[in-house]
Amino acid sequence: MTSILQDSLSIVAEKVRTGRMSRRRFLEVLAALGAVGALPAWREAHAETKELVFCMWGGDAEDVYRKAWNEPYEAKTGIAIALDGSGPTRGKIRAMVESKNVTWDVCDSGLGTQSSLGPEGLLEPIDYAIVDKSKIVPGLAYQWGSTGYIYSSVLTWDAQAFGGEEPKTWADFWDLKRFPGKRVLWKYMVGVLEAALMADGVAPDKVYPIDMDRALNKIKEIKDHLVLWDNGASSQQVFRDGEVTMGQIWHTRSTMLGDESQGRFKYTFNQGVVQPGVWVVPKGNPGGKAVFDFLASMQEPEKQLILLKELSQGPANPETAKLAPELAGRNPASPENLAIQVFQNEEWYAKNHQDAEKRYLDVVSS
C-alpha cells in the first residue's frame, strides 16, 4: 500500500470516526481509491486495540448489551468487546487504578462513582470531541462520566404476600405489621438513604441535603429484617426464591420480574429515585482512547431503543423515546414518571458518597 493511499485511508477513517462521513460513504470512497480489497489488512495494521473490556452488573442484561452494543461495534470495527459481569464497584475501580493493574476499559457505573473517583484522578475525563453531548439529556454529561441510560431505584413487592393489599410508599415499606416479611436493599446505599427519609416523613423535594443521622436511624428500625443485594442478578433472585416480600431494586430488574412472573411481582415509580447510568473509564485503561469510539457508538437511538424495549432502561438520547411512545409507562425518564420521583443529587454525592457509604455499611453489617 503506497504512503499516499495509506494517508488517504487514515483521513477518511477519521471522518467516519468523528461522524463527519457515513460508513456507506466511506466504502464508496474506498471503491474510488481502488482500496476496498485492502481494507481488512489496513484495519488490522492500524488497530492498536484488539479488545475492550466492558464491566457491568451481570444477569439478564448481558445478552441485551451484547445485542445492542457489543455485536454491532465488533462487526463495524473488528474490535472485540468482552463483558465482565462481576460488578464495577467504586472499591474495585479504586484498587485497580491505585495498583496500576487496570483490566477494565469502561464501567457501567453511577453518579456517585464519577463524582467521587473523578476528582481523585482515578478516572479518565470523557472525550466530548468524540462522545456527543447533544445526544445526552441536558445536564447528564459529566466530566468523568457519560450518561448511557437512565434508571430508577423503586419500591418492588410480591403481590401474593399481602392478601391483595399493595404498598404505595416507603412508609409502607417500613410498615412490617401491615406488610410482613423480609426486605431487600442495595449493599452500596444509593437510593436507600433517600427512601429512608421519605419513609420518615420527609417530602420528596426536601430529601437533599440528606440528614445522615436521621436516615440511618430509620434504617436501624428494620435492620433485623434486611437482606442485602450486591448486583442486579441477586436482587431478582431473592424475590424468585421467596426470601423477601418487598425491596428497593432497580426498575429494570423489577420489570423483568413482573414480566417473567405474569405480574406476581410489581413495582411503582412513586417516590422512586431517578439515577443516571454513567459510563466511566478507569485511569490507565488498557484500550486507551479507543473506548470513546465505543461510547459514541452506544449513543445511537436505535441501539438505545433495544435497551428500552428489552430492559426498560430509559434512553439517555432524547431522540430515542420518540421511536416508541407506547413504552412511556416503563420509561423512568418519561414526563409522567419523572413527576413522581426524586432525582439523585450530584452535588451531594460528590461531597458525601464515600463517608455515607461507609456509615451505611457499618449500620447494616453490624
pLDDT (tens digit, 9 = 90+) per residue, 294-333?
A: 999 999 999 999 999 988 899 999 899 899 999 999 999 8
- Rounded CA-CA distance 37/320 in Å is 36
What's the CA gap between 59 and 189, in Å, rounded? 20
- Please give the Cα distance from 258 to 251 (Å, whole number): 10
pLDDT digits (tens, 9 = 90+) for 254-290: 998 999 999 999 999 999 999 999 999 999 999 999 9
In the chain, what percentage of residues exceed pLDDT 90? 74
**Residue 31 confidence class, pLDDT cut points 50, 70, 90:** low
Q: Which of 278, 351, 313, 263 is nearest to 88 (CA)?
A: 278
pLDDT at 138: 87
Task: Report pTM.
Answer: 0.75
| Local confidence band at 29 (pLDDT 50, 70, 90 cut-offs) | low
pLDDT at 130 over 70: yes
Q: Which are the contacts of 266, defined by CB distance < 8 A and separation ≥ 6?
A: 156, 157, 159, 166, 254, 258
pLDDT mean over 44-51? 61
Grid coordinates representing 182 are: 423480609
| Overall residue count recorded for the chain in this entry | 366
Give the pLDDT confidence score for residue 326 in this predicted structure. 93
Please give the DSSP secondary-structure letter assigned to residue 123.
Answer: B
For residue 29, give the H/E element and its range.
helix 23-33
Q: Report the interhelical angle of 3-17 vs 39-46 (nearest 10°).
A: 80
For 205-345, where are the alpha helices, taking DSSP H only? Answer: 212-221, 232-240, 251-260, 290-297, 301-311, 318-321, 335-338
Element (H, E) at 227: strand 226-229
Task: Give the pLDDT of residue 27.
Answer: 53
Determine the Cα–Cα distance for residues 158 and 268; give it in Å rounded to an integer. Answer: 12
Band (5; pLDDT cuts 50, 70, 90): very low
Evaluate whether 218 touches 196 at the Cβ level (below 8 Å): yes
